[in-house]
Amino acid sequence: MRIWKEIGSWSLSIGLAFILSMFIGIFIFQPYKVYGHSMDPTLHDKQRIYAEKWSYTLGNQPDYGDIVIVDSRVERKRTFWDSAREHPLISLLTGDTMDEVFYVKRVIGKPGDTVEIKNAKVFRNGEQLDEPYIKEQMELLPDQTWNVPEDHIFVMGDNRNNSNDSRMIGFIPMDHVLATKGFK
């Protein structure tokens, strides 16, 4: 009889730890791994980062220049179950790694902004951005202009010549902003 009491006590402790871990991973912070070189020189391929999620759980918007983790599947709605499935413990149990859908990028434009690329330089609302964090000058391409819609942001990688970002995938809905880069 005592052994069943002990097993019950351990089961309760493990269950509570699992629930707490899920809560922290879905709403507070979560580890991520950077894949690729789109954020060089700021972040590097295979670098582990911890990202803060609490701000976005509360509905806050990222600021200009923030490094954010976004869900690149912008054509679909996100649900609570997406966040649960992306939790490291659930991914480990299901074997479902979703690393290829998470992009780590920098916020360039917010709702209502006009983002332009002219002569390989980035402008926001007519003013050229001072971007000391970029790896190198962008390749000279045709000029482009985007008007950021409500409830969306425009993101770019720091390695502009090697980044799949809003220039290709489009605007990022605010509910696709998962976290901001926290501490290493």
Catalytic residue positions, numbered:
38, 105
Q: Look at residue 62 and give its three-state secondary structure.
A: coil
Q: Could you give phi then psi for residue 95, rounded to 5 degrees? A: 75, 10
Q: Where are the beta strands (DSSP E) in the chain?
A: 29-33, 48-52, 67-71, 102-109, 114-118, 121-124, 127-128, 144-147, 152-156, 172-173, 177-181
Query: Cα dist. 25→17, 53, 102, 110, 133 in Å?
Result: 12, 8, 15, 26, 29
Measured CA to CA, the distance from residue 136 to residue 20 in angstroms comes to: 43
